[in-house]
């Protein structure tokens, strides 16, 4: 029965088309569970938020984004999460023979697939970051969280400038975790943060990309506000960055093989996957 369900899903993947070589997600299917209805708790007060387009083909068209993500900035904390997932209404339907079929709902390109950055919430406080990582379908039991230091990247400032959202931005570069990155930050917004885990420049980062354009982030809106900063009450197992990244990599390389193995050993899926 399980094999038949996954065969149906695999057929739908083929209909939807292959993923872009620019992305690191492969044929990884997201969970049908959504974040609507999850309990939230207040962790601070948002004084400004910035929305970023992730890997957009056209900044003016949300349907061409992999994701739309929000950086919420507080007095002593910050949060980074997916807006597409926040508003995603997932569902399943039944075929004539009673088998479950995935039906998408979140906006953006490649919306039938899982992306590790999109399915991760980050909370920053006291120089540390707590990451809440959601795994794809059939692997939700491995949803994990870990906390680690979040030091600034080692930036080199350049004299080049460009205007983004009516702010004059200066160029900066760094090498971080195997990639060379270019950032454009706004000195007139004295907030030392940016998309994802990037921070430490003397101004808010409004645009960021690596030189291979594997990751691209560009601010599409920003707003001063005074709203509660809410965080989902994730009940995830505590882990480490090394362990979480290894599992994410296994799933990205061959989701179907990893899923078949976890079905064989449902009580110890990650231990089995770690051997690969």
User: What's the rounded mean pLDDT across residues 103-126?
Assistant: 85
CA distance 269 to 91: 25
pLDDT digits (tens, 9 = 90+) for 124-143: 999 999 999 999 988 899 99
DSSP secondary structure letter of residue 151: P
Q: What pLDDT score was predicted for residue 227? A: 96
* Half-sphere exposure of residue 112: CA atoms within 13 angstroms, side-chain side: 17
pLDDT digits (tens, 9 = 90+) for 237-269: 999 999 999 999 988 888 888 887 766 544 445
More confident residue, 3 or 51: 51
**DSSP characters over 225-236:** EEEEEEEE---P
40 neighbors 233 (Cβ within 8 angstroms): yes
pLDDT digits (tens, 9 = 90+) for 54-110: 999 999 999 999 999 999 999 999 999 999 988 876 544 444 444 444 445 578 887
Q: What are phi and psi of 272, to 5 degrees?
A: -70, -40
Q: What pLDDT score was predicted for residue 262? A: 63
According to DSSP H, which parts of the chain are helical? Answer: 2-16, 83-86, 241-253, 255-264, 269-274
118 neighbors 82 (Cβ within 8 angstroms): yes
Q: Which residues pair with 173 in a beta bridge?
A: 156, 182
User: What's the rounded mean pLDDT across residues 8-22?
Assistant: 32
173 neighbors 183 (Cβ within 8 angstroms): yes
Percent pLDDT > 70 in the chain is 78
More confident residue, 37 or 236: 236
Number of other residues whose CB lies within 10 A of the CB of residue 139? 24
Tokens standing for 100?
A: 């479950």
Give the torsion sign (CA, 95, 99, 100, 103): negative
């Amino acid at each position: 029965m399980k094999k038949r369900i996954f065969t149906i899903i695999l057929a739908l993947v083929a209909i939807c088309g292959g993923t872009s070589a620019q992305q690191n997600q492969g044929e990884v299917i997201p969970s049908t569970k959504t974040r609507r209805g999850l309990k939230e708790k207040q962790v601070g007060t948002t004084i400004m938020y910035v929305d970023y387009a992730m890997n957009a083909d056209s900044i003016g068209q949300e349907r061409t984004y992999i994701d739309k993500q929000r950086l919420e900035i507080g007095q002593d904390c910050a949060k980074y999460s997916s807006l597409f997932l926040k508003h995603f209404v997932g569902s399943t339907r039944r075929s004539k023979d009673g088998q479950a079929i995935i039906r998408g709902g979140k906006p953006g390109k490649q919306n039938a697939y899982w992306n590790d950055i999109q399915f991760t919430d980050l909370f920053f406080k006291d120089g540390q970051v707590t990451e809440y990582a959601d795994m794809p379908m059939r692997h939700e039991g491995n949803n994990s969280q870990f906390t680690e230091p979040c030091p600034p990247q080692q930036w080199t400032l350049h004299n080049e400038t460009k205007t983004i959202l009516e702010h004059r931005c200066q160029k900066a570069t760094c090498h971080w975790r195997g990639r060379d990155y270019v950032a454009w930050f706004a000195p007139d917004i004295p907030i030392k943060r940016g998309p994802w885990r990037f921070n430490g420049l003397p101004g808010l980062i409004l645009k960021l990309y690596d030189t291979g354009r594997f990751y691209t982030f560009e601010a599409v809106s920003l707003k001063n506000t005074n709203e509660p900063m809410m965080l989902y009450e994730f009940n995830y197992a505590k882990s480490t960055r090394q362990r979480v990244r290894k599992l994410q990599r296994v799933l990205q390389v061959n989701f179907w093989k990893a899923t078949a193995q976890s079905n064989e050993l449902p009580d110890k899926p990650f231990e089995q996957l770690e051997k690969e």
